[in-house]
Chains A and B, each alone.
Chain A
Amino acid sequence: EVQLVDSGGGLVQPGGSLRLSCAASGFTFSDYAMSWVRQAPGKGLEWVSGISGSGGSAFYADSVKGRFTISRDNSKNMLNLQMSSLRAEDTAVYYCAKGMHSGGWLPFDYWGQGALVTVSS
């Protein structure tokens, strides 16, 4: 059974940093691209970043480019999102999501339960 477990959320001050993690199980992790998708309170979904199965390619939304870094450890089946220079507008539930097809970025067939990040002083 595929499982994605998000962790690392919390309260952080503006300008601060936070690292999210997603523990994956139930599939060959290195075969699939993974992404982070966020949802601000009461708002819609926003794709944040994606990384290829090998980790050799990564893409970012303009809203986080230069501040967030996505990475993965295929030996530990872990996906990470290092977030720095955090702003109030980064407050959201962050979901990790698995690409459905080997080698494809979209769609996402499995999602984590989400990790809440609150940026506030």
Chain B
Amino acid sequence: KAGVTQTPRYLIKTRGQQVTLSCSPISGHRSVSWYQQTPGQGLQFLFEYFSETQRNKGNFPGRFSGRQFSNSRSEMNVSTLELGDSALYLCASSLEDRTYEQFFGPGTRLTVL
């Protein structure tokens, strides 16, 4: 079974631009979560989608948004990029069962200049 895939793997943007990242979950997984990882803040939860609905949300500004499609694929968008948005963005998928084991994709490395 294929793992979680994320595209693109690397991105370079400038301040003020916007960016869209994509995540395809493991087949059969309907929950997709997004995280931001930086050396200073660690792994921070952005939001989680299930059945095309945002079910959980972390403490990030409204510039960070996401959506999920009927095939469970998900996108996240960051508008008006800031230097501090430079990070590794990770997507994880899980089955909807009581354990919620999450499996991560390889991540998208975003650099904001």
* A and B associate in one complex: no
A: residues with CB less than 8 A from B are: none
B: residues with CB less than 8 A from A are: none
